[in-house]
Structure 1
């Protein structure tokens, strides 16, 4: 599991001071990149050295309680499904240990050396993803 702490900024809110919902998707994206960095595979390095990235295939988020300007939030991200070329990562948003939202992303391990094409996730990466969550479903 990787944790991504942040503070809600004024620009993240609407006129009522409540976080505008697309920001949760932005934070899930940021959390995925934090997760990959935490297991030793920062996406900037992956792309610079191997022309590999993890484009988004699907995302969903359920909102349980609103967030407001200056709230301190922690997103906890865990890979829950690991397939040959694709992984599913869950994101849980906490404010003061209270679950305020949860969502997921499905991403593909993709080479951009030529035309974008999904490739098998390397064994060493799979191992680190599984180490982060031994209960992840392997497909």
Structure 2
């Protein structure tokens, strides 16, 4: 699944190149966009006392992202386990892959105030599997 955004000046250094930690924020944004598109908007999950907290993140950088460029983020699903899943994000500026990263997230219940990992609901697992690529 894809979504696009324009790199704002505030995300770049004096040379107009994206400061690397912003890619982690972009991955987080891509995850919430992905979940909204598959029918699990963040605000509804929170109302139902459900969340997808981040457990691990990694990003490799291949070319600089630059101010005012339109970036396409392609999100796919890697591994799906009982309570945990992996999302893979590829960042492209037109045909150039500028970065690739992943996030490992858990499905949790916020009932009782303390997050507790829960099995991923079957309906959600099926939706995730539609975008699964391996990895």
Alignment TM class, shorter chain as reference: over 0.9
Q: Counterpart in 2 of 1:107? A: 105
In structure 2, how many angstroms separate the alpha carbons of the residues matched to 1:47 and 1:62? 31
TM-score, length of structure 2 as denominator length: 0.95
Distance 1:35 1:76 in 2: 9
Measure, in 2, the Cα distance between the counterparts of 1:28 and 1:97: 19
- Deviation of 1:132 after TM superposition, in Å, equals 2.3
Superposed, 1:64-79 pairs within 5 Å as: 64-79=62-77
Corresponding residue number in structure 2 for 1:89 = 87
Deviation of the 1:6 alpha carbon: 0.3
- The normalised TM-score by structure 1 is 0.93
- Aligned positions of 1:4-43 closer than 5 A: 4-43=3-42
Q: Matched residue of 2:17: which SS?
A: coil
CA RMSD of aligned residues (A): 1.1
Q: 1:107 and 1:67 mapped to 2: Cα distance?
A: 25
Cα displacement (A) at 1:98: 1.3
Secondary structure in structure 1 of the residue aligned to 2:27: helix
Structure 1 CA distance, aligned partners of 2:13 and 2:77?
31
Q: Deviations over 1:58-110 (max 9, x none)?
A: 00000000011101100000111100000000000000121110000000001
Contact residue 130 and residue 136 of structure 1 kept, 8 A: no
How many residue pairs were aligned?
Answer: 134
What residue number does 1:52 align with? Answer: 50
